[in-house]
Amino acid sequence: MTTTRLLARGVALAAVAATALAMAAPAASAEPVPTFDFADCPSIPAGANPAEWRCEVMMATGTIRVGGIEQSLGPMRLTFAEGRLDGKYAQVFGALRTKKVPLGRGLLSTRLSYAGYSDFQSNDQRMGDLHVKLDLVGSLLPEGCAIGSDADPIKTAVKATAKPEVVSENPLVVRFPLVDNDFAVPRTHGCGLFGHLLNRRLGLPSPSGENSLSMTTYVSMKGYA
């Protein structure tokens, strides 16, 4: 979501989506609106006022390029809650849901997964931070084999490249593009004897500037009250 006003420091991603209804015109042509599943909405903190909290669901598709591969992402569903606690902004992560995508001729598959950290409070530089890893799945690979890990993740910080489009007013659904071309990608972890071979084949580790993430994202929300 472009414009300084939308990306002002201290504005949460959820608030940006809500504000877009007043600032962005509806999309020129009708389009299918994604089905939003709020099953992963997390419990809000003890003592929090439900009226001050809402659950966000982001539906996204796109591509990620890491090292020597470019791979489809999706579909991806990201869920979190945000609100006020003791007078301050607070958030609770819910879940990141993705599906396996064949890599190359299909002998291996990849799946984006959560790596333990998120921050969806936006500022002038980014819309949010999310640490992820790219699971590598194959009959010969050990469970847990991945590009990155919780201790050594892929650290994404996405930016909006165009102003939002309201594709539905009831319920409110906002669409916008997100990109990150600045993240570094670590080597594989948990891949056993295949680790060195995979790193060499995939061009890992890969420095900042050699990787990219591009997504088309839809956002909707609901309250806790």
Q: What is the pLDDT of residues 14-61, one digit of tens each?
A: 444 444 433 444 444 456 778 899 999 999 999 999 999 999 999 999
pLDDT of residue 73: 87
Strand-pair partners of 206: 185
How far apart (Å, rounded) are the C-alpha atoms in residues 14 and 219? 8
pLDDT of residue 129: 95
Q: Whose structure tokens read 């990201």?
A: 78
pLDDT of residue 31: 60
Burial class (CB in 10 A: 0-12, 13-18, 19+), 95: middle
Q: What is the pTM of this model?
A: 0.84
Stretch 78-83: mean pLDDT, rounded?
A: 97
Q: Whose structure tokens read 């389009």?
A: 31
Q: What is the pLDDT of residues 150-194, one digit of tens each?
A: 999 999 999 999 888 999 988 899 999 999 999 999 999 999 999
Q: Are 17 and 57 in contact, with CB atoms under 8 Å apart?
A: no
Rg (CA), the chain: 18
